Structure 1
Amino acid sequence: MSTSVTTTRTDRFLAQIERVGNKLPEPFALFLILFGLVALVSSVMAWAGVTVQMPDSDEVRQINGLFTAEGLTWLTENLGANYIGFPPLVTVLPILLAVGVAEKSGLLSGVIRAVFGSAPRWALPYAVGVVGVAGNVMSDTAFVVIPPLAAMVFRAAGRHPVAGLLGGFAAAGAGYSTNFLVTSIDALFAGITDGVVGILSDPGAPVTPVSNWWYNIVSALFLAAVAGFLIDKVLEPRLVRQGVSVDRLDDGAHEGGDELTADSTPRERRALVVALIALAVTAAALAAAVLVPGSPWRNEDGGYLPSSPLLDSIVFLVFTLFIVPGIAYGVVVRTITTFEDVPKMFGQALQDMLGFLVVAFILGQFIALFTWTEVGSWIAVAGASFLESINMTGYGAILGFLVLASVLNLFIISGSSLWTIMAAVFVPMFALIGYEPAFTQAAFRVGDSATQIITPLNPYMVVLLAYLRRWEPEAGLGSVMARLLPFTVCFWLVWAAILTVFFVLDLPIGPGNGIFLEG
């Protein structure tokens, strides 16, 4: 089969995905529709007197309907509380403020430049893999900053710049839900998970931003290596065979018109040293406070697991470990010259999340309604009973969940939106057949990330295409997706294999969190 025929079929398939995906409403409208659907269904079930018999318990729960006197009163009394009480807001916003200072001060981009600049020519693909996978610490900014920087470094080293460009985007996107560090994404997912476990009689260990940390570290290591291998052995040789130009067509800047350079200045390198010292001193002080005998951050048994004030302080710890080096770096490079610059950076960080804060209003209403009506309990019990009736309570159910999440991610690329929908159903359903909510959340990460780099619904695909056309003016979305498809397939398979190893060996996926519910 000729390359042109294959490309044409690929383009047709991707165009069909784009047409279907474009028919989906925006996240706010989508959850407003889902809210209305749950409201209607719950009311019909309440009028019919539907109840839920909780497994392994004598507890019988009555379905509550929104369009009843009790339901309408509940909504009018709790509209504000449903929003402010939306669990991700409690964890995401403080971390977001600190990460915002680290980003706006220039610390995060400075670290990226340092990593790229210190990597030898042969190791550049693997440096791109590490930086890309860890890039979600900057949230969506990673999609705009990392690819062009990687292209510049590749070109300066005599390697193909398009390999750096596409490889940086692939690593940042396909590995978006994992990291070596605890980030705002961990806080966001944990908050959503925590918001739906209330319907369970045995919710397992508490879900915190570090509940998937061990699993994330292992995943990030392997995915970074896979990304580097694919860039080095698959993507770059293919670009050479295709004759894609290595000459930059313009020396323009990145998105927004600001100049983007791959080299660090002496002041930036000095600032990185100061920031590293500040981080080390801060970490040492925090460690001394929590490790001493009798520390108030220990639990009643003198330890830290499965729960303790230390685990409850994760948001504070992450906040501190980002903001202190961020301020130190900013002072040296003079992006922070007065005290007022820090709250200004707070404000800029919140502006970047304004879209999420708006959508969070309807997300909070949906989660609260889903929980209060007990429709979630009914779906969980019915779903768990169905899986047991077809003898699908083992790992096959988890793999089916991965596939479903991967497919849905082609159309709903917002991780918070997709996890809100899936967590409301699958967290309690899988808990009823023996899996910890934190493990279900860990499994979701595979589907949430791997396929988002091959869907035209990803808004950053347009940004990537604009970069690519500097070297390849005739390139289209089909070209981009065909080159990124190996990353999706390999990331999915490797990530699923890592999850399988954790499952088979029953390894802890984070501090205090495992695979199976005890008892």
Structure 2
Amino acid sequence: MTTAPTAARSSRTDRLLAAVERAGNKLPDPFILFLLLFGIVAVASTAMAWGNVSVTVPGSDEATRIRGLFTAEGMSWLTTTLGENYLGFPPLATVLPILLAVGVAEKSGLLAAMIRRAFGAAPRWALPYAVGLVGVAGSIMADAAFVVIPPLAALVFKAAGRHPVAGLLGGFAAAGAGYSTSMLVTSLDALFAGITTAVTGSLPNPGSPVNPVSNYFFNVASSAVLILAAGFLIDKVLEPRLVRQSVPRSQTEDPDDGAPAGGEALDPNLSALERRGLRWSLGIGIVVAGIIAAAALVPNSPWRNEDGGFLPASPLLSSIVFIVFVMFVIPGLVYGRITGTMPHARDIPRVMGQSIKEMSGFLVLAFVLGQFIALFNWSGIGNWIAVAGASGLESIGLTGYPAILAFIVLASLLNLFIISGSAMWTLMAAVFVPMFALLGYEPAFVQAAFRVGDSATQVLTPLNPYMIVLLTMLRRYEPSAGLGTVISRMLPFTVVFWVAWVAVLTVFYVFDLPLGPGNGIFIQ
């Protein structure tokens, strides 16, 4: 039974989030919104170009001038790169192949069978924490996590008779807000370490060497806290609010997705034919995974980098989309063939076409998104914003731990404009690693602080293209959902993740705990 104080708190929270949702939904349709943002950047960049504004990126010897769209150079750039800006929009290379593959696995019934088998009899209370675990650990899949995890989490919740929208949004929040940390060592760890090491080379006292495991202890502790936080928020905040709002569990879902309408729990008991199809598809999946692993692990594998390894970059890590594609398509085809849901070769393009059709709105929106992001990067305004913010913080003259907190706040704010963590760290590390080294802080600690600000706010900004992908998915359940709907439901995750993550960093700081093997807080 809900107590009066609890009900009052829920009511206040609902009113606050509803206000955020109303304000956000007053924004224009995403296509019009990004068209307006494109115009604002076009005008601002032109004014700055006419004013001969330039920016000196830390580590560079020369200033880079801001380039304006409404100049001879800018108009030539736009007219010659319009198609390239669209086709070069980064999420397209991730979203489209994975949609084709997931479509095969979903329409064949494989995903529903796997979920029924794995979660049909699982305790309902554990599912939000399972989604939190998979989401926070999902950064090992790089950007593919934003496309794969949310819809699968929705199916898992639906299989258990829970609200599929809670799974969808919770999966995205966990994957996005916790993107910079994982219990596993990922390519992001190696990428950050490489950037930090490049900066420390010129320091008189660079502290301990930074490598891919320099933040490992901190990452493990952060991941554990964020998994629990994600599970709690999904279970106690997001899903109850959806129920209180009477958000329909299913409105426009494909009836062939293998999940029941209305949130009825799936039967965990499979038919003999379904069990046979599942055994064969999982067996083939294991064989395919083994072949991929063997091809990568053999000496002189073409999937290794020039040094014979896999980190910080290698063809294997660049093949994540391919690996996800084959691990969905091949088992899906096997299951469909055995169970009769996809008995003919002509069924393959049919179900793939259905998957693309469901995301056609995103493909249209991607056109204007691609133009906006290309202009934002080409003009140099993003670098100017980052360098100006860093210079402003540096001029404040804060010292001690308050300076670290101010640095995290700045990273969180810049994360609303510069979604790429590696690009933002490249800009910020050149300024703040040397600055904090003079204050006695290890570069690995500054890198750990950056991780906190790098992820939590990216699920709030429309400049995150995967947020638009999520909105497209959400509209399968709620056709009237807008950006305000997504932002209001992501806000609790951002606030709680940010506070919890800062708390973990504070514990490491106060007790001077090692961040990873051989890396502490203070330069000795």
Are 2:251 and 2:477, in contact at CA under 8 Å, matched by a contact in 1?
no
Aligned residues of 1:219 and 1:495 also touching (Cα < 8 A): yes
Which residue is equivalent to 1:34?
Answer: 37
Take 1:113 and 1:219, find their aligned partners in 2: how far apart are those partners? 31
Aligned to 1:307: 313
Matches within 5 A, 1:25-424: 25-119=28-122, 123-131=123-131, 134=134, 138=148, 141-142=151-152, 145-151=155-161, 168=167, 171-172=170-171, 174-177=173-176, 225=228, 256=253, 258=255, 259-260=260-261, 261-264=265-268, 265-266=270-271, 267-391=273-397, 395-397=404-406, 399-400=408-409
Question: How far off its partner does 1:423 sit?
Answer: 7.1
Cα 1:173/1:388, change in 2 over 3 Å: same
Q: 2:102·2:328 contact (CA, 8 Å) conserved in 1?
A: yes
Change (3 A) 1:314 1:419: farther
Question: 1:223·1:494 contact (CA, 8 Å) conserved in 2?
Answer: yes
1:133 and 1:176 in contact (8 A); partners too: no
Q: Which amino acid aligns with 1:382?
A: A
Query: How far did 1:338 drift?
Result: 0.7
> Counterpart of 2:405 in structure 1: which amino acid?
G
CA distance in 2 between counterparts of 1:319 and 1:231 reads 29
Residues of 2 paired with 1:323 and 1:217: CA distance? 32
Name the CA distance, whole Å, in 2 between partners of 1:322 and 1:176: 20
CA distance in 1: counterparts of 2:119 and 2:168, whole angstroms:
15
Number of matched residues?
437
Structure 1 residues 392 and 293, CA gap change in structure 2 (3 angstroms): farther
Classify the secondary structure of the residue corresponding to 2:160: helix
- CA gap of 1:139–1:52, structure 2 versus 1, over 3 A, is same
Deviations 1:198-235 (A, max 9, x none): xxx99xxxxxxxxx999999877665555666788x68
Q: Secondary structure at the match of 1:282?
A: helix
Per the alignment, residue 446 of structure 1 pairs with: 456
Partners of 2:89 and 2:172 in 1: how far apart?
A: 26
- Deviation per CA, 1:324-360: give whole Å up to 9, x if none: 2222222223221111111222212212222221121
> What CA distance in whole angstroms lies between the structure 2 residues aligned with 1:320 and 1:44?
48
In structure 1, C-alpha distance between the alignment counterparts of 2:152 and 2:216, rounded to whole Å? 21
Q: TM-score, normalised to structure 1's length? A: 0.66
Give the partner amino acid of 2:60.
Answer: S
Q: Contact 1:179 / 1:216 at 8 angstroms: preserved in 2?
A: no
Normalising by structure 2, what TM-score? 0.66
SS in 1 for 2:55: strand
Indicate the SS of the match to 1:177: helix
Verify the 8 A CA contact 2:412 2:456 in the aligned structure 1. Answer: no
Asked whether the equivalents of residues 450 and 491 of structure 1 are also in contact (C-alpha less than 8 Å), the reply is no
- Mapped to 1, the partners of 2:477 and 2:5 lie a distance apart of 27
Q: Deviations over 1:67-99 (max 9, x none)?
A: 111211111111111111122222332222212
Q: Offset at 1:16?
A: 2.6
User: 5+ residue gaps in structure 1?
Assistant: 153-163, 181-189, 194-200, 203-211, 245-251, 407-417, 467-480, 509-513, 515-519
Q: Cα distance 1:6–1:337, how it changes in 2: closer, same or farther (>3 A)?
A: same
Identity %: 45
Q: How many Å separate the matches in 2 of 1:221 and 1:304?
A: 26
The verdict on how the C-alpha distance between 1:449 and 1:270 changes in structure 2, with shifts beyond 3 A counting, is farther
Q: For 1:313, what is the secondary structure of its paired residue?
A: helix
